[in-house]
Structure 1
């Protein structure tokens, strides 16, 4: 993207987004001024996202970081994590809402309360539409504004894994053949991320481990294949343990945290207990701790 296009994007974002930078932009600004203002806008959007996170206003955090992504430039590791946390916090809340609504819908249907079933179903469809829109929006942002400007292995794995995750969330909303169509897109993204990760990172690296964890959750939850889920999780666990001591302290702590989740999931999946698939935690990145249900 040319500097003129970047500046135009910054200008449009500034007028749309309620930040102090907006009034300082003028159509007559020079190239150097527009470049400087674009950087100022980026910094202010990132600050706004951090502020929104502290205030637990995750929709605004998501929107701010999405505008950073649309500047068509390579994001820093911090910016990538802010983008991920914003989107995952918003989608996690909506997925949790859908679990509650589905449970309520079933309970009211069991009682024969058709009026309440209709109301609950309409509410569920509304939340599903919101989640569908958000997932498709982040996938489009990744494809159009992030992957084309990513030159290093870490960012590429990050975005392809993120695509796989949000296609997985979309698959949760689908019925019949649509599930497999969306699941196939999720698997393709995960496989692309895996290929890059295997070529660039050791089995004990938290990037590769986190990816393996989420792929195993995909097989368990979406593909209904506990055997394959356990295979992926166990292979990742066994290969990482051998090389764990070669990591520095920070990476060691990140990796051991994911290894513990892998071990816990394996214990759940290998048991004969009636465990809901949504009880399997996934890795949500350094900016968000794994939890129940997956974020």
Structure 2
């Protein structure tokens, strides 16, 4: 994506205006001048200008890989209390996903190192690692609460179409799930319950408003199944949900539009990969220590935005060995 040509400069009005014919030299005989030209821009006009500028700056920030600034610009757009376009919706998702994704990857790396040092009995190092992990968790919490606040106060209430309603409820479920990933005790339980409720709300709307092959519906099923597997430790439910979504999409594959074919088939592949992984993990015997294989680390999730699934899906293995999870 390039930023060139994203905005066009408005044409300036010519200052060389031909005087009207037969105009009297007497100032008192001239027609009264309209006062409309002296009025300041309306609030709606200023808001539109602000939104357009923020969208452009968000695209610019994305190209520069300055995702925190991309988030701030898209928050301006989201706070306008208007239905976002598909492009704006995806820009918002990409912005937050990059900001949260980097920290989720960092958290996994640090947690893995912490576990290794604990097994070696290196208490001094473990203390330092724990403090560092808590710093990352604080950042994760701030980001999640930020987007959840935007969703609850602006986006969900402004959603008009079934597609946007599913998109935002799924997004709400995702970010409560991210909170549950590192939370403990009652906080983990509360985040898990909120995530479950949001995913269920999204699923109800998707069942009536979106086709089984729709990339947003498929992405919802993918992430909801990951929630069951990783957060609720319910592999049977995870497999059932993923298989049902995959089978429903296969049954209507011939109705898939060319526009969404690439995105939908990519997510279907991720669903199938997870099913293969989960069923093989359940079949494997536990090791001598009684611990089940760390299948959750290899679970694949949806990319930043369905409309950019092929280009934004990345492998956490590139950031956090030995995980093979595709970033959500």
Q: What is the TM-score when the length of structure 1 is the normalising length?
A: 0.86
Q: How does 1:130-149 map to 2 (within 5 A)?
A: 130-149=139-158
Asked if 2 retains the 8 angstrom alpha-carbon contact of 1:171 and 1:179, the reply is yes
Asked if 2 retains the 8 angstrom alpha-carbon contact of 1:281 and 1:291, the reply is no
Q: Which residue in 2 is equivalent to 1:26?
A: none
The structural deviation recorded for 1:237 is 0.6
Residues 1:91 and 2:95 are matched in the alignment: no
**Moved beyond 6 Å, runs of 4+:** none
The structural deviation recorded for 1:30 is 5.2
Tell me how far apart the structure 2 counterparts of residues 177 and 34 of structure 1 sit (CA, whole Å).
Answer: 45
Residues 1:169 and 2:189 are matched in the alignment: no
Residues 1:46 and 2:55 are matched in the alignment: yes
Count of residues in correspondence between the two structures = 267
- For residue 236 of structure 2, the aligned residue among 227, 251, 272 is 227
The structural deviation recorded for 1:34 is 3.2
Q: Which residue in 2 is equivalent to 1:115?
A: 124
The structural deviation recorded for 1:33 is 3.7
C-alpha distance after superposition, 1:32-76 (max 9, x if no partner): 443222211111111111111111111111111112111221111
Q: Which residue in 2 is equivalent to 1:251?
A: 260
Q: CA RMSD in A?
A: 1.6
The structural deviation recorded for 1:134 is 0.8
C-alpha distance after superposition, 1:205-234 (max 9, x if no partner): 222111111111111111111111110000
Unaligned runs of 5+ residues in structure 2 are 1-37, 285-292, 316-324
Q: Which residue in 2 is equivalent to 1:15?
A: none
The 1:126–1:30 alpha-carbon spacing in structure 2 relative to 1, beyond 3 Å, is: farther
Residues 1:290 and 2:313 are matched in the alignment: yes
- For residue 209 of structure 1, the aligned residue among 184, 200, 218 is 218
| SS at structure 1 position matched to 2:308 | coil
| SS at structure 1 position matched to 2:191 | helix
Larger radius of gyration: 2
- Structure having the higher helix fraction is 1
The structural deviation recorded for 1:175 is 1.1
- For residue 265 of structure 1, the aligned residue among 258, 261, 274 is 274
Residues 1:241 and 2:280 are matched in the alignment: no
- For residue 280 of structure 1, the aligned residue among 299, 306, 325 is 299
Asked if 2 retains the 8 angstrom alpha-carbon contact of 1:139 and 1:166, the reply is yes
The structural deviation recorded for 1:252 is 2.1
The structural deviation recorded for 1:287 is 3.3
Tell me how far apart the structure 1 counterparts of residues 245 and 132 of structure 2 sit (CA, whole Å).
Answer: 40
| SS at structure 2 position matched to 1:141 | helix
The structural deviation recorded for 1:278 is 2.9
- For residue 178 of structure 1, the aligned residue among 187, 201, 225 is 187
Q: What is the TM-score when the length of structure 2 is the normalising length?
A: 0.78
Tell me how far apart the structure 2 counterparts of residues 146 and 117 of structure 1 sit (CA, whole Å).
Answer: 41
